[in-house]
Amino acid sequence: MSNEPTTTPFAPAAADPAAAADPAAAPVAAPAEAAPGTAATLRAGIDPMSDPASALDSVEATLNSPRTVALALGSNIGNRMELLQGAVDALEDTPGLRVRAVSAVYETDPVGGPEGQRAYLNAVVLARTTLPPRSVLERANAVEDAFSRTREVRWGPRTLDVDILAYEGVVSADPRLTLPHPRAHERAFVLAPWCDVDPEAEIPGHGRVADLLAAVDRTGVHHRPDLELHIPE
């Protein structure tokens, strides 16, 4: 099953250290067809009260063994499954990042936002990485950009959102990269797929993902057993 965490030892995807230094520059395969008209194991080891920038920097300075990172994927425009699978593929293609598990897919009624918005598909990816948190964010943003181009002249709303939910051992209040993600602990559409891949993950200051999921309202979040993402071979 694609949503079972594996226990194989982490092997960095990057043989080339220069490539690993700039994961955002790694090519992201374009979606086969952009839809027309569309655009942890988190064991806190860093003082949350310390300067957020230095909290991130200290990881960049000391990163020498793989860490677990959880990422949330969301799409509500275009071919949502193609976009989510494209994001999984692009993440797996990232030098220094290895996808270890992919959650089930959930369909989520949109809350707020413009009238007539389509439902979201949401999933969570669990990865091991030797990249520092900021490089993971750069790559996540590059993946979003690659899949958010439309064939229209005007840029539409984003088709794909890739957020970092948590990065092992890092707590950061930096608005450019807040870790853990400030709203993850209260969102059923994040907690449900996260629980699939890492129920024991601790969100510092909030608790275990499985416990948090049990406590939130799951109304509007539907498991879609007919939809399945896979880790590329």
Reply yes or no on whether 149 is catalytic: yes
Report d(CA 147, CA 74) in Å as an integer: 12
For the record, the structure tokens of 65 come out as 């063994």
Is 170 an interacting residue with respect to ligand ADP (CB under 6 A)? no
Print the binding letters for residues 106-145 with Mg ion: x by CB under 5 A, - otherwise. ----------------------------------------
Can you tell me which residue has the tokens 């999921």?
Answer: 213
Q: Which two tokens stand for residue 189?
A: 């559409």
Backbone angles phi, psi at 96, to 5 degrees: 90, 5
Q: How many CB atoms lie within 10 A of CB 114?
A: 7
DSSP 3-state of 112? coil
**Residue 213: CB partners within 8 Å, gap ≥ 6?**
188, 191, 192, 194, 195
Tell me if 165 sits within 8 A of 177, measured CB to CB: no
Rule CB under 6 A: choose which of 10, 178, 227, 228 binds ligand ADP: 178
Q: Is 198 in the site for Mg ion (CB under 5 A)?
A: no
CB of 233 to ligand ADP, least distance (A): 28
Which of these is catalytic: 163, 187, 196, 198? 163
The residues in 158-187 that bind Mg ion, with binding defined as CB under 5 A, are 161, 163
Number of shown-chain residues binding ligand ADP (CB under 6 A)? 9
For the question of residue 163 being annotated catalytic, the response is yes
Establish whether 183 is a catalytic residue: no
Which listed range, 55-63, 159-167, 195-203, 221-229, lies at the site for ligand ADP (CB under 6 A)?
159-167
User: Site for Mg ion (CB under 5 A): how many residues?
Assistant: 2
Within 8 A by CB and 6+ apart from 114, the residues are none
Binding positions for Mg ion, rule: CB under 5 A:
161, 163
Which residues are designated catalytic? 149, 158, 161, 163
Binding positions for ligand ADP, rule: CB under 6 A:
137, 161, 163-164, 176-179, 181
